[in-house]
Structure formats: C-alpha cells, structure tokens
Amino acid sequence: MLPQEKEIRPSWIGRLMSWILRAGEIPHHVAFIMDGNRRFARRSGEAPIHGHKQGFSKLAEVLSWCEMLEIPEVTVYAFSADNFKRPQAEVDGLMSLAREKFHQLLSEQAKLKEKGVRIRMIGEIDLLPSDVRQPAAELEQKTRDNKTYTLNICIAYTSRLECVNAAKKLLAASESSKGLAIDEQLVSKSMYLSSPPQLLIRTSGEARLSDFLLFQCQKAQICFVKPFWPDFSLYDFLGCLLKYQKVDPRSSYEEPLSAKQESYLRKLEESRAKQLQSYLK
Amino acid sequence: MASRRSRYFGIVQVLLLYLIHFAVSCFSWFFKIVRRLNPFKSSKLSNKFYQSPEHVALVSYKNSLIDSSQMREIALELLQRGCKKISIWDPDRRMEKSKIDWSELNCRVLTPKNGGSTVSDSIKRMKASSVSVREVNVELLDHFIGPNGEEPELLLCCGALDLVSTKGYPPWALRLTTIYPLPSPYSKSQVNEVLSRYSTVSQRYGK
C-alpha cells in the first residue's frame, strides 16, 4: 500500500495461505495497535527510537500484506495523546520520525495515486508541532481523491478526546438546528473515524484497548497477540484472520439517517476540509 | 476455458480453506485436552496470592453454553475471590429474563435499554442543563455519563474462545480495562486462572 524502498516479498507459503484465506470472509477494515516497539528496542539493548523506526518498517510490510489480502481500509494507532507524557527526547524523536515519513510520502504522491491510497489523519492534530501538522494536513488533502485503499493514521489521538469533540459538535449543531435527533448512530458518525473496523489486532500481549477506537470497536472482533509489533509476522496476521473467519456472521444493519442528520454530517465534512486548509498556511 | 479454469481454482481454494480450518480446529481441541489433563498448572496457580480487581464486568455471549446459572456461579466465584462489584452486560437480555435476583449478589445487569445510549443521552442532558460548548471536556462528559461510565478493571467475555468482543458494553468505561475470554464450558478453575493472569498486568498509561 505504501511505496517502499525495498519491496519485501512474503514467502511462497505466506502467499499461498493468503490466497486460500481469501476464499473465506476477509474483514474490509482492520485496525492495529502497534504496541511493543520500546520493549523490542530494550531487548536488543537499543534506544526506544530504534524500536519506533523498526515499527515503521513493519507498518509498511503489514500494509503490503493487507494489499495482498485485498483489505481496503486499515487504521493504525501511531501516537496517543497520552504519549506526550513520555520523556521529551523520545517525543521529539517520534515527531522527527513522523515529519520525515510524511515528507517522504508527499514526495511519492504519484505512487500513492497509482495505487489509489488515501491517507487520513485521525486525532487532535492541533496538538502536533506545526512542522508535523503541516505535512500531515497536506498529505491528507492531496490524497483525498484516491479511492482504492484508505489508511487512517491515529496521531495525537485518544477515544475520549474524540468523543468530547463529537459531543461539542453535536451540542453546537443542536443549538443551531432545532429538531436534530441525537442518537448513538449520529454520535458514531460524528467521530473523527466513522467507519467501524471488523477486526482489531493488538500486539505485545497486552489485552486492553488503551483508549483506542472504543466507540468504533463495540462490535469488532479483537485479537491480542503476543509478539511485539516489529516481530509481528505474516503468519501471526493470518492466524488472526483464521480466528476471525470462525466467528459467527455479523450483522451490520444501520437505521437510515434523517435529512437533518445528513445535512449536519455534510457540514461536519466541510468544516474538516476548511480546518485542514488552515493547517497548510 | 478461462472461466472454467478460474471456477476450478475457486473450488480448490474453498476446499483448501475448509481443510485448514478443520486442521486448526483439531489442533485446538487436542491442545485443550492436553491442558485439561495437566493438573499441575492449576494447583500452582491456586497457591499463588494475588490482588483481585475491585470491579469486574462480564459480557454474556448469545450463542455460548454459559447460561444465566453459570453466570451466577462466575459472579459468586469472583465475589469470593475478593471482587467487590460485578457488572453484567446483557445485550440479548438473557440474564434479565432469568429468575435470578442479581441485586442480591451485588451485581448490576446492564442492557442496551438502561446502559446503551450513554453518550447521546449525556449530550441531551448537557443541552437541558444549558452547558456551553466551551465548557465540554473529558471530566464534564464523564460526570454526565454517570454510573454507566464506571470503569471495570477487568472484563470477561463469557463464551468467547480466541477472539473477544465487547458486544456493545458502554465504550466510555473501557478505556484501560483488561479484556480476557472465558471460554465455555465453564469450570471453576477458569476464574482463578484469569485473576492470576490479571495480577501480572502492568499499566503504563501511555508513558
């Protein structure tokens, strides 16, 4: 999905297994909590930033697996708003890595367009330093017309802050638009990320959501795996998909939205586009 | 010719998929038998002292073999092991319809009717209380969500095997909750195992 300097081709067994699994149900939206980068680095006696760099390489590899399995939407938990509490040197290293990768992706827009990859930034983008915010906004704006794959990068994100933002928007809208019906469906659609994942995978053995997509994952199947994120292999991923295929079929019926609710969501999308534009200045 | 070939490939693909699922199921079943036949692991865990979580939530799975009487046994076992509060998320209202008096056991049963619309109801209450948009923050929303936002330390998915699903448990409350499966059929040693496993968990809170 992301252009890579050196394509890492999975083994023939991995490709064969992926082909076989595609005969069954494959989720069309998978979310990843990429946990364990620092513990991976500590195990090798390296600094945490080394773990995060390995983590980014693993992300590019995992996205290529998702492309091979024809999974059109992927969401990743890149940086929590709580991670700003980490030592400043580590936060600066992560921001520097993010800046470098966003600029690299901006330079490869043609390849992103060829693959049809849309990149969206999900979170409190205002909290990011301006030299990270600006390329992030530019990347989202320049890939918004790409339709084949969607990569949602949760950065400076927590689910509770996302919910507070949705509550503010709905409270403001209910004051200006009398008769707007506020229900859980409209709350979900007011979140930064409105499309729910079918499968959530967390690495490193921790069995919790850590304030990630709490509202979107209410009906998702959640798979906790032991390997650290940089150690996550194609076979671990295929194992999660095998387990996913064994679960009972899920129903995804949604009540149709009213005209006022649709109008409110259109205005929300427009204000988001304006906000992104303001970050580019 | 090309379509016939692709149809044959499709049939081979599906057959291989069923074969893989069958092989994995056999392996899982064999592994479960081996674990059950090994008594030493259970006795080591039961001798270990651990601090139990205060608030545990249970999620009832529709098609699982764990019925309301077994849920009652799980709740009793948790209370005996030091848990003070049990919340049961009952999306299909199986526990509500059972004849068990859950309040006697200090358990509260939440259903989509009384626990499902936490955020939208909170927004309506904020509007009724004339709260301004500027005032809205995490603490205020937490206050308006009220008791349904109380965070359990541990959530057990009763009937889940490998994957877990919260089945719509009030999401605001699950920020830092540890989530484990409790496979069916239920046995008493499972509660001991999950509490022992929970005692090894460490929270970093993003740091």
For the segment B99-134, what is each residue's pLDDT rounded down to a tens digit?
888 888 888 998 888 776 688 889 989 988 999 999
Q: Are residues B114 and B142 in the same domain?
A: yes
In a domain, B138, yes or no: yes
Record the tokens describing residue A80, joined without a space: 């929590």
Range of the domain at B100: 43-199
CATH of the domain at B119: 3.40.1180.10
Cβ distance A76 to A152 under 8 Å? yes
In a domain, B159, yes or no: yes
Are B174 and A214 an interchain contact pair (Cβ–Cβ within 8 Å)? Answer: yes
Distance from CA of A145 to the nearest CA of B (A): 32
Which residues 36-75 of B have a C-beta within 8 angstroms of A?
A: 63
Instruction: Give, in order, the Cα–Cα distances in Å from A70 to each of A25, A130, A148, A153.
Output: 11, 35, 10, 19
Q: Which of B10, B20, B176 sits opposite A210 (nearest CB)?
A: B176
CA distance A141 to chain B (A): 28
Whether residue B147 lies inside any domain: the answer is yes
Q: With a cut of 50, say whether residue B46 has pLDDT above it.
A: no
Q: Indicate whether B8 pLDDT > 80.
A: no
B81, B183: one domain: yes
Query: CA-nearest residue of chain B to A170?
Result: B123
Q: Closest-CA residue in chain A for B22? A: A246
Quick one: closest CA in B to A85, which residue?
B207
Q: Inform me whether the pLDDT recorded for B145 exceeds 80.
A: yes
Residue B62 sits in the same domain as residue B83: yes
- How far is it, in rounded angstroms, from Cα A197 to Cα A216? 7
**Given an 8 Å threshold on Cβ–Cβ distance, is B206 in contact with A209?**
no
Q: Which residues of B touch A30 (CB under 8 A)?
A: none
Whether residue B65 is predicted with pLDDT greater than 90 in this model: the reply is no
B5 and B60 both lie in a single domain: no
What pTM was computed for the model?
Answer: 0.89
On chain B, the residues whose CB falls within 8 A of the CB of A20 are: 13, 16-17, 20
Strands A29-33 and A199-202: parallel
Q: Has residue B204 been placed in a domain?
A: no
Contacts of B123 by beta carbon, 8 Å cutoff, 6+ apart = A167, A170, A171, A174, A182, A187
Decide if B108 is inside a domain: yes
Query: B136 and A160: CB-CB below 8 Å?
Result: no
Chain B CB contacts of A35 below 8 Å: none
Report which of B165, B158, B143, B166 is spatially closest to residue B190, judged by C-alpha positions. Answer: B158
Residue B189 lies in a domain: yes
Q: Total structural domains in chain B? A: 2
Residue B163 and residue B106 share a domain: yes
Q: Does B151 touch chain A (CB under 8 A)?
A: no
pLDDT for B175 beyond 60: yes
pLDDT digits (tens, 9 = 90+) for B182-200: 887 788 788 888 898 898 8
- Directed axis angle between helix A130-142 and helix A88-107, to 10°? 30
Average pLDDT over residues B58-66: 81
**In which order are the strands placed within the sheet that holds A73-80?**
A117-122, A149-157, A73-80, A29-33, A199-202, A221-224
Same domain flag for B68 and B155: yes
Is B151 exposed, middle or buried, given 0-12, 13-18 or 19+ CB atoms closer than 10 A? middle
Mind telling me how many Å the CA of A133 is from chain B's nearest CA? 21
Q: What is the pLDDT of residue A249?
A: 60
Q: What is the ipTM of this complex?
A: 0.88
Pick from A1, A9, A274, A14: nearest CA to A112: A1
* Cα(A215)–Cα(A224) distance, integer angstroms: 18
Question: Does residue B206 form part of some domain?
Answer: no
The answer to whether residue B183 neighbours chain A at the CB level (below 8 Å) is: no
Separation of alpha carbons B207 and B204, rounded Å: 6
Q: Are residues B143 and B66 in the same domain?
A: yes
Residue ranges of B 96-115 with Cβ closer than 8 A to chain A: none
B71 and B18 in a common domain: no
- In 3D space, the residue among B112, B139, B175 whose CA is nearest the CA of residue A184 turns out to be B112
CB B182 within 8 A of CB B144: no
Q: State whether B29 and B64 are in the same domain.
A: no
Best of A206, A222, A223 to disrupt the B interface (most B CBs within 10 Å) is A222
Instruction: State how far the alpha carbon of A121 is from the alpha carbons of A72, A86, A142, in Å.
Output: 17, 21, 12
Q: Are residues B90 and B133 in the same domain?
A: yes
Buried b (16+ CB within 10 A) or exposed e, A88-98: eebeebbbebb
**Residues in CB range of A225: below 8 A, 6 or more apart:** A201, A202, A203, A205, A232, A236, A239, A240
User: Over the range B174-190, which residues count as b (16 or more CB within 10 Å of their CB) and which as e?
Assistant: bbebbbbbbbbebeebb
Q: What SS3 class is residue A267?
A: helix
pLDDT of residue B44: 43
Percent of chain B at pLDDT > 70 equals 82
Q: Which residue has the higher pLDDT, A60 or B4?
A: A60
User: Do strands B107-110 and A221-224 pair parallel, antiparallel, or not at all (unpaired)?
Assistant: unpaired
Question: Of A7, A33, A15, A6, whose CA–CA distance to A212 is shortest?
Answer: A33
Contact B186/B70 with Cβ under 8 angstroms? Answer: yes
- pLDDT at res. B47: 45
Within 8 A of A246 by CB-CB distance, chain B residues are 21, 25, 161-162
Question: Do B180 and B156 form a contact (C-beta atoms < 8 A)?
Answer: yes
B207 occurs within a structural domain? no
B178 touches chain A (CB under 8 A): yes
Contact map slice: B 3-32 vs A, CB within 8 A: 10, 13-14, 16-17, 20-21, 24-25
Per-position pLDDT tens, chain A of length 281: 766 655 667 788 888 888 888 888 899 999 999 999 999 999 989 988 889 889 999 999 999 999 999 999 999 999 998 888 888 888 888 899 999 999 999 998 888 899 899 999 999 999 999 999 999 999 999 999 999 999 999 999 999 999 999 999 999 988 887 778 888 888 888 999 989 999 999 999 999 999 999 999 998 999 999 999 999 999 999 999 999 998 866 655 566 778 888 888 888 888 888 888 888 76
Same domain, B179 and B128: yes
Do residues B8 and B49 share a domain? Answer: no
Q: Among A19, A159, A222, whose Cβ lies nearest the Cβ of B163?
A: A222
